[in-house]
Amino acid sequence: MERVKKLGLVLGIALLFIGIVYTAPQSFKPAVTPAVSQDVFTGNPVAAIASKSSPAVVNIDTKTLVRRSFSPFGDDPFLRQFFGDQMDMFSRVVPMEGKGSGFIVSPDGMILTNNHVVDGADSVTVTLADGRRFNAEIVGKDPTYDLAVIRIKAANLPVLKMGDSDRTQVGEWVVAIGNPFGLEHTVTVGVISAKNRSIRLERLNFDGFFQTDAAINPGNSGGPLINLDNQVIGINTAIVPYAQGIGFAIPINVAKQVMNDLVRFGRVKRAWLGVYMQPITPDIVEVFGLKSSEGALVSDVIPDSPAEKAGIQRGDIIRKAGNQTIKSPDDLSNAVRKQAAGDNLKLEILRDGKTLNLSAKLEEMPQERSLGADTQQRIGNRLGLQVGNLDPKNRQRFQLPALHGVVVLGVEDGSPAQKAGLQPGDVIQGVNGRAVRDLVSWERAMGQAGGKNVVLLVWREGRTTFVPLKAR
């Protein structure tokens, strides 16, 4: 009996050991669960958006040839007065590289990006998500909205669907995809923090930006801002460098119209009303006996403009444009920008205490009136001057009498203008014998002065003098 008990105990231990040996591997086998979502309550649409959208987001690499001085004295303007162009012997042309983002908007290779990504570039290279690289050509640029369209020779490319940015609300979740610091196809998430933000920079002057806290860094420019419906609602454009979580994107509805013009004409056919405006200050409210400071005060009307043809007069206060209430001059600028040349814009104005309703047929802004960054940069490169109209603000700033011409607002260090002795407050009244009355005639005269030698008729302190200079 004792033997039977011992035999049973041995058999039991053996069976237990066998069970452990054969069941142990099963206990260490990892459980496989479908990676449907990371949040068991709402799901994670970001992963799906990144997967579907990334193939249509591209990396943009640019090269720009610039001249750099290797002289121990640099490009000293004092020495250049004596040695002139011989100073260029101590310089060389070197390539500068830049990076940005963009996204494909048509299967045949049209790509939307920011103007500042490709502006001035001597070569533009696009890299797709699958690693293919293409040389790109610039179809058109618009510095006013900082948008550009480039094209690569390819077919059957994936595209991103554009949404309706007017329906976007503050607090909506958004996804940014781009190439920050060369880190390809980086995905960040945030919300729309605010709408209708204004940015005033040297090369960008725009109202209506989306503000977002989705991380945007250098290299993200031109990349898409996507909503949870996987639709592009904005184009990542700018950041506040000294802040955290403050980025700006151009609403896609603005980009649609600009893009169509760039593709069809290579430029934007921007609507034009033809008025100079100023805000309504408390002093103006008191003097004019107004009830509020809302509206845009017309300080001047350009002759033969749509505004003059519609009957708008100096001193009118524009309170409404189309369906948009006008609270400031910026509001009127935005209302006109949303229109196309040829559109009839209904205006509600206040004149002598009475409300009038007018209709202005907008025209295409004359090309010489388009005082965007390209024009200012071109003139600046030639003479080193920044000029402005002789409007009431500039007359008061420089204490100028009633004159025709353009006033010098700034002079670039080392420029031909500085060497010639021009200074802020000077009034230019002629270029190579052609009269200058305003910015329009100034740009026209400068465009006709094709050579390097330029002679300006300059008014200063009651006297005029001819100032010769050699444009760059």
Burial class (CB in 10 A: 0-12, 13-18, 19+), 294: middle
What b/e sequence results for 107-130 when a residue is b if at least 16 CB atoms lie within 10 Å of its CB, and e otherwise? Answer: eebbbbbbbbbbbebeebbbebbe
Structural tokens at position 84: 């002139």
The answer to whether residue 221 is catalytic is yes
Residues forming a β-bridge with 200: 205
315 CB burial (10 A radius; 0-12, 13-18, 19+): middle
Q: Determine which one of 53, 221, 305, 370 is catalytic.
A: 221
Assess contact for 254 and 270: CB atoms under 8 A.
Answer: no
Give the separation between CA 169 and CA 192, rounded to whole angstroms: 7
**Catalytic hit among 116, 119, 333, 370:** 116
Which of the residues 61, 119, 142, 146 is marked catalytic? 146
225 neighbors 103 (Cβ within 8 angstroms): no
How far is it, in rounded angstroms, from Cα 128 to Cα 227? Answer: 22
Active-site residue numbers? 116, 146, 221
